[in-house]
A and B are shown apart, each in its own frame.
Chain A
Amino acid sequence: MAEATILASGEAIAARRRFRVLRKLLHHRSFMAGFIIVAVMVIAALCAPLTGVDPNQMRVRLRFRPPSEVNWFGTDQFGRDLFTRTLYGAQLSLWIGLAVAVLSGVVGAAIGVLSAQFRRLDSLLMRIMDALMAAPAILLAIGLGAALGPQTHSVIIALAVAYIPRTARIVRASALVTRELEFIEAARVSGASSMRIMFKHLLPNASGPLLVQSTFVFAFAILAEAALSFIGIGPPPPAPSWGNIIAEGRQFAVQSWWIMLFPGFAISLAALGMNLLGDGLRDVLDPRLKVES
């Protein structure tokens, strides 16, 4: 009798509480707006080959064509189709954003969790992070990018290093809170190793803030890639990254405004999309704002 009642009420509560996060996200306006923007950009990037045009093919006769029915975004100083280049640029820029977000997320999470679990390591790791954080992220990335040379993977490494300290701090803060909860003690009573505590308990419970932070890093990386390319330490030309297209169109900004306009717009849209997505995720996932029902 008692068990039946427990089951019945448990069933009722469960039905309403399951997929709570997903349902909240679906009802979150800015999350959905961000999600749609990002999804459209990803699909566009994947569809780039469908234009059937080589993004690097030069046609001198077709230089500086303004947007038209044939060349939707116009052409650049070498007669390359800017619509195609912007789509391929989406591939490269989104790839850099994703790679930086994942790399800084993985390394930052590892450092954060290690600092929280091993208190002796903490002061050493956090002083290194502080030192890295003392320089503005973009300056750090410029320095590293210059040192590593203008290549796509060096851009990724430079930007990831620049953003690891912030991610590490966020994961550490979350893990320090989790560490005080009783389920950690429960695991230790059963003889759990530090590894198990870090990977089964601390890390999964930091996943919300980590995910939110990673979306912001993603947005930052897209903007920073453009900045690095603009000053010539981005992916090497003629690779069509958004930053490269803008950098190349700089000299012709006045007479051929369209060269810079469309990739610039793409950068803003991508950054906006990721930020909206991140804001939505934070509203739903961040425990500081979450009200226990």
Chain B
Amino acid sequence: MAVPLLEVDDLTVRFRTDAGWMTAVDRVSLAVGEGEALGIVGESGSGKSVTALSILRLHAAATTRMPTGKIHYGGKDLLTLPTREMRQIRGGEIAMIFQDPMSSLNPVLTIADQIGESLRLHQGVDQATARKRAIELLDLVRIPDAARRVDEYPHRLSGGMRQRVMIAIAIACRPKLLIADEPTTALDVTIQAQILDLLRDLQRELGMSVILITHDMGVIAEFARRVMVMYAGRVVETAPVGQMFRRPVHPYTEGLLTAIPKLDVDVRRLPTIAGSIPDPTAVIPGCRYSPRCPQVQESCRRDSPALLPAGPEREARCPPRVAAMAKETVA
């Protein structure tokens, strides 16, 4: 990766809750290269969605303290950019799609209106051109009979079709980066496969970078080239996708991979990760995974571990494991 398209440095996001302030994202750093597909995987409360929303400054202002850290994009820091410039980037150079395609579309506007809105806002095109472009875009996201569908209302479309429309809106201004937050979670398996195929094709055709956020290791394996695993607000491991699946470093990644129900083999009993996902407001000293970790050591409960290099392009937040790996390589 020469010069990354987007670089996030030490991003920290804090929320106000009933029980006081809670850290949803704790000093997260990441980089996305041009045309790269980065996957962020984690369970609920891992901070993966908040990280994505904060890149576009879409967090709820009322309950969130201004995120700290830096988000470098095109020589600018997105966190300190004036609101007007931020609006230009949002939906223009960086676009986002969400899990629920129904609530993301306005039920009283036609598809043409909603795609056209983005074009008129960012490119200032007139209505007729916007409509023509809308049809082209629907075609691009493989919606059959685009010229007719463009005048329909969202409720007439199936879930898969709505997600395609959302993707059409997102790519309307040819973004350099697409952030997809659980884009297939609400969809059926066969439709999920269609959407993943579409996203991959579009990424190639338009040369976009994509950040894909998901809880599904299968989706990650299929789509991403590099993975970042998050747990309780922190990055616990980053690695090229093949290496992570073949040899996870962090015990959480390992536990997660073995706990997934297997489709291709019969397993008598699935190995489990003990305990529950910690309450987001809970204070856990040391490594946040230590209460559940099967290989926990005394130091894990005491010292907050750093993200350490664990091979080329790899990092993991588990000093004992990283040390063990280093010893192996020497031997």
Contacts and interface: CB of A to CB of B under 8 A. Distances in A.
Asked if A and B touch directly (CB within 8 angstroms), the answer is yes
A5 B19 contact: no
Contacts of A16: 18-19, 279, 281
- Chain A interface, DSSP helix/strand/loop, else mixed: helix
A190 interface: no
Contacts, number: 33
A246 to B, nearest CB: 44
Interface string A1-27: 110011011101100100010011000
A5 B17 CA distance: 24
A24 to B, nearest CB: 7
Contacts of B276: 5-6, 9-10
Nearest to A291: B63
Nearest to A9: B276
A206 B96 CA distance: 38
Contacts of B282: 9, 12-13
A9 B278 contact: yes
Contact of A24 (B18, B272, B278, B281): B18
Interface residues of B, number: 13
Contact of A5 (B279, B281, B291): B291
A1 B18 contact: no
A293 B18 contact: yes
A185 to B, nearest CB: 22
Contacts of A293: 17-18
A130 B142 CA distance: 50
Contact of B292 (A5, A23, A24): A5
Interface in B235-290: 272, 274-276, 278-279, 281-282
Contacts of A10: 276
A114 to B, nearest CB: 33
B148 to A, nearest CB: 35
Contacts of A20: 18
Interface residues of A, number: 14
A24 B18 CA distance: 8
Interface string A251-293: 0000000000000000000000000000000000000000001
Nearest to B17: A293
Contacts of A8: 275, 291
Interface string B104-130: 000000000000000000000000000
A23 B17 CA distance: 13
A42 B274 CA distance: 54
B279 A2 contact: no
A8 B278 CA distance: 10
Nearest to B294: A1
B279 A12 contact: yes
Interface string B3-28: 00000000000000111000000000
B279 A13 contact: yes
A279 B272 CA distance: 47
B134 to A, nearest CB: 35
B18 A5 contact: no
A9 B277 CA distance: 9
Contact of A6 (B19, B275, B278): B275
B317 to A, nearest CB: 21
Nearest to B22: A293
A23 B18 contact: yes
A8 B292 CA distance: 11
A5 B281 CA distance: 17
Nearest to B292: A5
A2 B281 CA distance: 21
Contacts of B19: 16
A1 B296 CA distance: 13
Contacts of A2: 272, 274-275
A10 B276 CA distance: 9
Interface string A107-147: 00000000000000000000000000000000000000000
Closest 6 pairs between A and B when the two form their complex, measured CB to CB? A5-B275, A2-B274, A13-B279, A9-B276, A16-B19, A5-B274
Interface of A: 1-2, 5-6, 8-10, 12-13, 16, 20, 23-24, 293
5 contacts: A1-B274, A2-B272, A9-B278, A9-B291, A16-B279
Given A5-B292, A16-B281, A20-B18, 19 more contacts: A2-B272, A2-B274, A2-B275, A5-B274, A5-B275, A5-B276, A5-B291, A6-B275, A6-B276, A8-B275, A9-B275, A9-B282, A9-B291, A10-B276, A12-B282, A13-B279, A16-B19, A24-B18, A293-B18
